[in-house]
Amino acid sequence: EVQLVESGGGLVQPGGSLRLSCAASGFTFSSYWMSWVRQAPGKGLEWVANIKQDGSEKYYVDSVKGRFTISRDNAKNSLYLQMNSLRAEDTAVYYCARGGGSYLYWGQGTLVTVSS
């Protein structure tokens, strides 16, 4: 059974940093692109970033370029999102999803709240 479990969310002040993790199991992690998708409270889905199987290609939505970094550790079956210079508008549930451009499997999400 495919499982994606996010962790690392919480309350952070504007300008602060947070690192999200996603633990994957039930499939060969190193064979798949992986992505982060977020959803602000009461709003729609927004793709954040994705990463190729070997980490050699990474893409980001314009609003997070230069602030967020996606990475992965295939030995640990884990996906990460380092978030720096956080803003109020980054407040959202962050989902880890398997795939680069379509998402059959999603985690349950982790809430990031940016507020003073």
Partner 1 sequence: SYELTQPPSVSVSPGQTARITCSGDALPKQYAYWYQQKPGQAPVLVIYKDSERPSGIPERFSGSSSGTTVTLTISGVQAEDEADYYCQSADSSGTSVVFGGGTKLTVL
Contact between 59 and partner 1 per CB under 8 A: yes
Q: Which of 27, 47, 53, 55 binds partner 1 (CB under 8 A)?
A: 47
Contact between 62 and partner 1 per CB under 8 A: yes
The one-letter amino acid code at 103 reads Y
C-alpha–C-alpha distance, residues 98 and 86, integer Å: 25
Contact between 41 and partner 1 per CB under 8 A: no
Local structure of 62: helix, strand or coil: helix
- Report in angstroms how near the CB of residue 6 gets to partner 1 at its nearest: 10
Closest by alpha carbon to 81, among 9, 3, 2?
9
Q: Are 101 and 27 in contact (CB under 8 A)?
A: no
Kindly list the residues in this chain that would bind partner 1 in the complex (CB under 8 A).
35, 37, 44-47, 50, 59, 61-62, 95, 100-104, 106-109
